Amino acid sequence: MNMPIPDVNAVPAEQARTTFAALWRPALVQAFVKLDPRQLKRAPVMLVVELTAVFTTVLCLLPDSAVPTSVALQIALWLWFTVLFANFAEALAEGRGKARADSLKAGSQGLSCRRRNATGNYDVVPATALRKGDVVKVLAGEMIPGDGEVLEGIAAVNEAAITGESAPVIRESGGDRSAVTGNTRLVSDWLLIKITSNPGESTLDRMIALVEGAKRQKTPNEIALDILLIGLTLIFLVVVVTLQPFAYFAGGAIPLVFLVALLVTLIPTTIGGLLSAIGIAGMDRLVRLNVIARSGRAVEAAGDVHVLMLDKTGTITFGNRRCSALHAAPGVSARELGEGALFASLADDTAEGKSIVEYLRQLHDFSEPQASALTVVPFTAETRLSGIDYQQRRYRKGAVDSVLAFVGMQRLDMPTALTKEVDRIAQSGGTPLLVCMDKRLLGVIHLKDVVKPGIRERFAELRQLGIRTVMVTGDNPLTAAAIAAEAGVDDVLAEATPEKKLARIRQEQNDGRLVAMCGDGANDAPALAQADVGMAMNDGTQAAREAANMVDLDSDPTKLLDVVQVGKELLVTRGALTTFSIANDVAKYFAILPALFAVIYPQLGVLNLMQLASPQSAILSAIVFNALIIVVLIPLALRGVRVKAASAAHLLRRNLLIYGVGGLVVPFAGIKLIDLLLNALHLV
Amino acid sequence: MHSYDYALLLAFFAIVLLPAPWLGRFYYKVMEGQRTWLTPILGPVERGCYRIAGVDPGTEQSWQTYTLALLAFNLSGFLLVFGVLLLQGYLPLNPQHLPGQEWSLAFNTAVSFMTNTNWQSYSGEASVSYLSQMLGLTVQNFVSAATGLAVLVALCRGIARRSASTLGNFWVDMTRATLYGLLPLCLVLALLLVWQGVPQTLSDYVKAVTLQGVEQVIPLGPAASQIAIKQLGTNGGGFFGVNSAHPFENPSAWSNLFEVSSIILIPVALVFTFGHYVKDLRQSRAIIACMLALFLIGGATALWSEYQANPALSNPQVEQAAPLEGKESRFGTTGSVLWTVTTTAASNGSVNNMHDSLNPISSMVAMVNMMVGEVIFGGVGAGLYGMLLNVLIAVFLAGLMIGRTPEYLGKKLQAREVQLLVATLLVMPLGVLVLGALATSLPGPAGAVSNPGAHGFSQLLYAYTSASANNGSAFAGLGANTTFHNVMLGLGMLIGRFGYILPVLALAGSLALKKTAPVGQNSFPTHGPLFVTLLLVTILLIGGLTFLPALALGPVAEHLSLGF
């Protein structure tokens, strides 16, 4: 019933076009559209600039003997440019996010679905008519019309449109795989789905809302920064407005156009103009990671996190135990053992079995028997062994007691060297498997949780940023400690239950720490809700997805580390540009003040450190610099300032040097350069 | 500079800095009601006060209640002084039969003493009776300083406490601040001053016949006791019109040293008190370092400037060293400059020389000291809470750059805190620039200056800066005793005082409620040279950006016009 079923092959849809070349044109149009004061209201500093631009434009019509009209016109023009540049930055950031969201949304246009009515029959309704609690039936080949939970059925779902992962995933009722996402395609069977979100609240809608400037909720730090910027604007307004009476007292007057210019250069236009772009670009970076945040607040909180609670399985280790070593029994050669273990595992399809085969193939070059020559002996609950029969020999592997029973041996009779090895493996948190050929014990295989490569370094980086990692596992404390030591986590929560997890989060929070965690099961939901940053896996349960404030579409728990990085970058970028913006004012004063007072106190000309050519060119240069610096900083605002793993003091010193001292120095050079250029071109 | 100039500077810094850690801890113990060596003597008095007032020292107040108590107390203080000054002609202890003050002057004076400003549009010996001095002004000298101290400890508690809804008890804090914090030190200083020859008497003015045969009236009064609190409480309101330049108010080199160092004795110590509250003395050292750096930068600049000969007199026939106009030759250039810098850095406002006669750059140092909000040691309590506001602003500005929500000592700075901080940032621009602009644009008030041009502008700018910063020192030259200036300067003082106190208490309340995040390696470092530099730059940047245009039209223009 999904009427416009697109060609299945075309499903990954058009790739989101996010290059500058594709985006600048619509952004330019948007820059003008955003001149609407109702939209600018969200960026109060820019609203002030727009008002002054209007005011200056009007002043151009009233000739002032002190200011040539051409100069006044240029000032007015650059004031308009200042607003347009800021709008352009926002539009560009918005455009990138929207392009990504639109490519996701493309499939949902005109979607219809079967909704169960009161009589138990199904009506065909547009997907937009669905409300929370509605039940729909979806058949193979159709799109799932909205986020929901599987009530009945089992089916394969292609979630490529959302996750980019082309292999279909299984969704079924009950258990931890019951949640489905709107705009994903059923590739087999059928599902009965209870819709869990109203229109406009789905995962996709949330994604879009986060990158659209006008609908975007400001994050707490952004609000705080906004207040500071408004405060600074007010202060400078007072400074500029009171300057005229002071000038009158000194027996002179300052042209209004110049006062306006002074105001605009002093108020924090750089950060005021880029603030919104920074926020949108931050969310966009998150979307690019395939993580959807319920709100920007959670992303910011991620930057503040003190403690990461990470599930061992899947995050720190690969999900399954893997073969890590073999130890031969006395009198057995390594090659004999290797061959025996390989044969015993050839038919074993479990991850453990495969890992043994993989391990041994790398170690020796065995001639493997043809599959047809084998008699497979599968694992049964009775024997608790598996293996093959080959050339009248029986190769088996299994847990220690099962294999001993198979060869008819008491535990005490086992060779001492082997017993020691078995005990050592068990104590280190691993699993020992015995291998035998007929009645002869060959040796022991060491299976263990294997820590993902690179994760240790990742944790070390986090530690430098002051973030502690806690490994959460159901394992006993001994096993847990062994893995923890190998992975380099700071702390372990062993034999974890959902209650213990929740209690641990509460305890950390009571100590004033912010906690981030990820989870997927229904029993993770309370902990996810309690954590300051809770990231649910997309293939998890609906309960977990609802409790969390972020969903990872790729269901990769290590993403949490990237989210922390994005959160930090977002904050650092804002801080850096704020500092830069305020530091800029010093140079602007030295450009404008001597120019303003040139008539009243020519002696103040000594403050003209930059030796700018004339009062007019000095003021115009400052205004031009003020506008252009926004353009220059757009790439930085969109890309974000990189956060290196380092202590707070180190980060502060580095950023203060770049953005603080840089902010003091750069405008001196910039304004001087523009002044030279303006005079060379005879614009003043 | 001579060797005795260096000796003065050395002695000054020794007196001020050496006892500070000990005194700071003493203040912490006293304000938290812990036992000190004074408890056996003053404990019964303290308990007596509570019993008479019906205060239970165990109950604590929310920030709102604390604020209301403070406002009520200050309002009644104002009404009392206002009333006494209006009616002093009908009241006892008035041997000179001085009439009541004119209403705007009385308003100005009452506000001035209530707000710890001590701006004086009058001359003490000519218009204030003994009763007004003792019951009105001296009492306010004590309680206005104690109020500052109370607000400070409330803020300290706000920062130090976690998830708390109360800030202490205003009545208890006031009692302890006055009883233990101010009275004993004042007693010591008053005795030292009496020893140096400062009068302390209730008898009439002395009539004497001079050598020329002219009859002269020599004013006397209970001066020593008031001078002690005037200096220690960073009040600054002189007993006599010319303040500490008067030989009865400041008779000797010793009295000069005692008086100038007692200006910032308590403010320096309180920085350590803060360290005890937050259990981290590194914070205190960082703040002291920043204050000291600002003090030294200003002091060095002013000394350099004041030792410049006046270019107008650069005539080979005139032999001149540093200009001495407006200075007591007893104190000399260094002694005068040290006082000027100290009295403006702290919101004291007493003077031992006339700031109107300073070279332009030295007078600018005095103005900048006040314009940054009296945070270079500053007034009792007020200086440090002003400084802590700057600390919070610096933390917020740069804090984001470490990739976390800005935190100070584990307390997050969020929208509400920033709102309150911004409110305090607006105080000085409002008081100095807006009121100043009003004064300069009205012909009457603007005509009250005694010089034209840049210097005249400095006179007005200085007056409104001094009032808004609650400093109270006068540039002189401005005929401030007019209805307009009395009312406007009074308004400036109110804005300057409560424009800080109200947001600070709200801030304390909001911070107290917050959880405290553990402070560790990844927290914003608020100690060490990097932070001290950041704080210094923040203060100068905010003050500079706000007042540079005005200063350019005043002292800077004057300096350049004079041809220095």
Contact status, residue A275 vs residue A222, Cβ threshold 8 Å:
yes
Predicted local distance difference test score (pLDDT) of residue B113: 93
Higher local confidence (pLDDT), B322 or A507 = A507
Q: Mean per-residue pLDDT for B392-397?
A: 93
Higher-scoring residue by pLDDT: A167, B460 = B460
Q: How confident is the model at residue A6 (pLDDT cuts 50, 70, 90)?
A: very low
Q: Which residues contact A458 (CB under 8 A, 6 or more apart)?
A: A558, A561
pLDDT at A10: 37
Joined tokens for residue A394: 């029986």
Mean pLDDT for B403-419 is: 93
Instruction: Please state the φ and ψ torsions of residue A294, each to the nearest 5 degrees.
Output: -70, -35
**Set of chain B residues whose Cβ sits within 8 Å of the Cβ of A232:** 425
Question: How many interface pairs between A and B have CB atoms less than 8 angstroms apart?
Answer: 211
Tell me whether B160 touches chain A (CB under 8 Å): no
pLDDT at position A161 is: 67
With cut-offs at 50, 70 and 90, classify the pLDDT of residue A359: confident
Residue B203 lies in a domain: yes
Q: Nearest CB to A512: which of B402, B419, B516? A: B516
CA distances from A528 to A466, A552, A555 (A): 22, 13, 15
d(CA B199, CA B124): 15
In order, the DSSP letters of A376-401 are EE---TTT-EEEEEETTEEEEEEEHH
**Which pLDDT score is estimated for A129?**
79
Percentage of chain A modeled with pLDDT above 90: 33
- DSSP secondary structure string, A289-342? TTEEES-HHHHHHHHH--EEEEEIIIIIEEEEEEEEEEEEPTT--HHHHHHHHH
In chain B, how many domains are there? 1
- Residue A108 has a pLDDT of 60
The answer to whether position B113 is within a domain reads: yes
- The total of other beta-carbon atoms located within 10 Å of residue B65's CB is 16
SS3 content of chain A, % helix, strand, coil (to 5): 55, 15, 30
User: What's this model's pTM, rounded to 2 decimal places?
Assistant: 0.88
Kindly report the number of other CB atoms within 10 A of residue A199's CB atom.
16
Lowest average pLDDT, out of A4-8, B522-526, B543-547, goes to A4-8
* Measured distance CA(B396)–CA(B538) in Å, rounded: 11
Q: What is the pLDDT of residue B460?
A: 93
Residue B395 has pLDDT above 90, yes or no: yes
B443 has a chain A CB within 8 A of its CB? no
For the cut 70, the answer to whether the pLDDT of residue A302 exceeds it is: yes
Query: Which positions of A make up the binding site for ATP?
Result: 348, 352, 379-386, 397
What percent of chain B is modeled with pLDDT above 90? 74
Q: How sure is the predictor about B20, in pLDDT bands with cuts at 50, 70 and 90?
A: very high
Cβ-defined contact of A652 to B405 (cutoff 8 Å): no
Inform me whether the pLDDT recorded for A12 exceeds 70: no
Decide if A221 and B405 are in contact by the 8 Å CB cutoff.
yes
Helix (H) / strand (E) element for A550: namely strand A550-552
Q: Stretch A552-578: mean pLDDT, rounded?
A: 88
Closest to A88 (Cα-Cα) out of A43, A28, A40, A44 = A28
Q: Euclidean distance between the first and final Cα of chain A, in Å? A: 69
Which is more confidently placed, A564 or A558?
A564
| Helix runs in B382-452, H state only | 382-399, 415-425, 427-428, 435-441, 443-446
Q: What confidence score (pLDDT) does residue B316 get?
A: 67
Name the band, by pLDDT with cuts 50, 70 and 90, for residue A335: confident
Q: Is the CB of residue B425 less than 8 Å away from at least one CB of chain A?
A: yes
Write out the catalytic residue numbers of A: 311
Q: Tell me whether residue B253 is in a domain.
A: yes
In a domain, residue B82? The reply is yes
Contacts of A304 in chain B (CB under 8 A): 404-405
Predicted pLDDT of residue A164: 60
Which residues, at least 6 apart from A497, have a Cβ–Cβ distance to it below 8 Å?
none
Cβ separation A304–B530 shorter than 8 A: no
What is the domain range of residue B8?
3-280
Token output for B297: 């930068």
Output the CA–CA distances (angstroms, integers) from residue A319 to A312, A450, A491, in the order listed: 8, 9, 20
- What is the average per-residue pLDDT within A99-121? 74
Q: Residue A23: its pLDDT value, please? A: 85
Q: Residue range B77-102: average pLDDT?
A: 90
Using CB atoms within 10 A of its CB, is residue A452 exposed (0-12), middle (13-18) or buried (19+)?
middle
From CA A254, how far away is CA A247, in angstroms rounded? 7
Instruction: Give the DSSP H or E segment for A90.
Output: helix A69-105
The average confidence (pLDDT) of chain A is 85
For residue A5, the tally of other CB atoms under 10 A from its CB is: 13
Kindly identify which residue of chain A lies nearest to residue B559, measuring between CA atoms: A603
CA distances from A162 to A138, A154, A212, A560, A638 (A): 18, 20, 19, 18, 23
What share of chain A in percent tops pLDDT 70?
A: 93
Please tell me the distance from the alpha carbon of residue B200 to that of residue B222, in angstroms, as a whole number: 4
Distance between CA atoms of residues A46 and A178, nearest Å: 47
CB contact under 8 A, B401 and A239: no
In this predicted model, which residue has the larger pLDDT, A38 or A542?
A38
| Geometric angle at alpha carbon B449, from B448 and B453, rounded to 5° | 135
Q: How far apart are CA B230 and CA B253, in angstroms?
A: 18
Average pLDDT over residues B64-73: 97
**Residue A2 confidence class, pLDDT cut points 50, 70, 90:** very low
Query: What pLDDT is attached to residue A9?
Result: 38
Render pLDDT for A51-86 as a digit per residue (tens, 0 to 9): 999 999 999 988 878 888 899 999 999 999 999 999
The answer to whether A574 contacts chain B (CB < 8 Å) is: yes
- For the segment A141-162, the average pLDDT, to the nearest whole number, is 81
Domains of chain A are 23-98+212-285+566-681 (no CATH), 112-211 (2.70.150.10), 305-316+453-553 (3.40.50.1000), 321-451 (3.40.1110.10)
Residue B241 placed within a domain = yes
Q: Considering CB atoms only, which of A249, A514, A586 is closest to B440?
A: A249
Interface touch A597/B521, C-beta < 8 Å: no
The per-residue b/e assignment along A46-76, b for 16 or more CB within 10 angstroms, e otherwise, is bbbbbebbeebbebbeeebeebeeebbbbbb
- What is the end-to-end Cα distance of chain B in Å, rounded? 20
The pLDDT tens digits for A458-478 are 888 888 888 899 998 877 888
Q: In the predicted model, what is the mean pLDDT of residues B240-247? A: 87
Task: For residue B385, give how far its alpha carbon lies from the nearest alpha carbon of chain A (Å).
Answer: 19
- Report pLDDT for B453: 87
pLDDT at residue number B29: 97
Residues of A in contact with B163 (CB under 8 A): none
Q: Show the tokens assigned to A578.
A: 């704020």
Burial class (CB in 10 A: 0-12, 13-18, 19+), A658: middle
Q: Assign A15 a pLDDT band (cuts: 50, 70, 90).
A: low
CA angle A534, A539, A541 (to 5 degrees): 65
The predicted structure's pLDDT at residue A218? 85
The verdict on B549 touching A (C-beta cutoff 8 Å) is yes
Rounded to an integer, the average pLDDT of A9-28 is 66
Between A377-391, A592-606, B355-369, the lowest mean confidence (pLDDT) is in A377-391
Q: What is the mean pLDDT of residues B310-337?
A: 82
- What interface predicted TM-score (ipTM) does this complex get? 0.94
The nearest CA of chain B is from the CA of A637 a distance in Å of 14
CA–CA distance, A502 with A266 (Å, rounded to integer): 50
* pLDDT reported for residue B153: 97
Looking at residue B146, what is its pLDDT? 96
Backbone angles phi, psi at A126, to 5 degrees: -70, 150
Residues 218-237 of chain A whose Cβ lies under 8 A from any Cβ of chain B:
220-221, 223-225, 227-228, 230-232, 234-236
pLDDT band for A13, please (50, 70, 90 cuts): very low
Do you know the residue count of chain A?
684
Lowest mean pLDDT among A374-383, B86-95, B237-246, B541-550: A374-383
Binding-face residues of A in 170-229 toward B, CB within 8 A = 220-221, 223-225, 227-228
Instruction: Kindly state the helix (H) or strand (E) to which residue B357 belongs, with its residue range.
Output: none
CA distance A629 to A671: 11
Q: Is residue B242 part of a domain?
A: yes
Bridge partner residues of A448 (DSSP): A322
Query: Who wins on pLDDT, A399 or B315?
Result: A399
The 10s digit of each residue's pLDDT in A204-263 is 677 667 767 667 788 889 999 999 999 999 999 999 999 999 999 998 899 999 999 999
pLDDT for A343: 87
Neighbours of A655 (CB within 10 A): 23
Q: Indicate whether B560 pLDDT > 60.
A: yes
**pLDDT score of A207:** 67
Give the pLDDT of residue A233.
Answer: 96
Cα of A579 to nearest chain B Cα, Å: 7
Look at residue A323 and tell me whether its pLDDT is greater than 90.
no
Count of alpha carbons within 13 Å of B65, Cβ hemisphere only? 11
| Structure confidence at residue B444 as a pLDDT band (50, 70, 90) | confident
Residue A119 has pLDDT above 80, yes or no: yes
Residue B255 predicted with pLDDT over 90: yes
